[in-house]
Amino acid sequence: MTTPRPPLALAFREAGQGAPVVLLHGLFGHAGNFGTIQRRLAQRFRVIALDLCNHGASPHAPTMSYPEMAADVLATLSAQGALPATLVGHSMGGKVAMAIAEAAPAMVARLCVVDIAPRAYGAGFAGHVAAMAAVPLLPGLSRAQADRVLAEAEPDAGVRQFLLQNLRLDRDPPGWRIDLAAITASLAQLSAWVPDPAMRYRGPVLFIAGARSRYIRAEDRPAISARFPAAGFATIADAGHWVHAEAPEEFLRILGRFLED
């Protein structure tokens, strides 16, 4: 068995006062993806949006398994005196949040998992990583040129813009803010889910799905309920996978009700 690397001190954005609520982004994302959500929640809570390992302004590392990323989050929050906390995780961040809830349940006041289930997924992002790696990082590169390269793998302009938020054109030569090599090496682990069969998190849990997304399916609910016995479910009609960005008002209404319950 591979020895986990030491926990990293993660970069974060903090706003508000009160009980801590922690926001964990998905693959290729960063803390700023929760800008609107963080500002609104900060009216009532101490809201900490983290950059996960190899993303945003956080340190890079050659490995990023879910136990390692969970340890990063716990170490960072402990250093900030922000435990126990409510965790809100989207996609990959949702899996990190579930890993924390199972490994350190006393540190999790509540758990909200956004459009991901505790199961393995296909390596659907391999094409995106390959396309990003194919962008020629040469002086003078424009965002439009990079977009044309990504379009060969991803027809959705919105998804391409989400990926391109990681492209740094403010340095010479340009580069990626995320660690593409480490993410590529970790894709199989990030797509997988290897839970401890003995672990259960019995605190309050809410799974929020986008109706146009297939990341949480009806057939996932028995497995979710087995691992999270208090789990509730909500579906937002006018949203796909990026639920909080596509339907922020409805997302905030549902999340706010869960946090105040």
Catalytic positions, written as ranges: 91, 241
Q: Residue 26's closest CA among 191, 252, 211, 224?
A: 191
Provide the CA 3 distance to its chain's centre, in angstroms. Answer: 24
* C-alpha torsion angle, residues 67, 71, 72, 78 (rounded to 10): 160
What span, in angstroms and rounded, lies between the C-alpha atoms of 95 and 118? 7
Cβ within 8 Å of residue 210, ≥6 positions away: 115, 235, 236, 239, 240, 241, 242, 243, 246, 247
Residue 259 identity (one-letter amino acid): L
Tell me the CA distances in angstroms from 116 to 29, 72, 194, 204, one per residue in order. 15, 20, 14, 17
What span, in angstroms and rounded, lies between the C-alpha atoms of 37 and 30? 13
Q: Residue 234's closest CA among 109, 88, 61, 43?
A: 88
Q: Which residue has the tokens 């993660």?
A: 10
Cβ within 8 Å of residue 106, ≥6 positions away: 84
Q: Residue 91's closest CA among 234, 4, 193?
A: 193
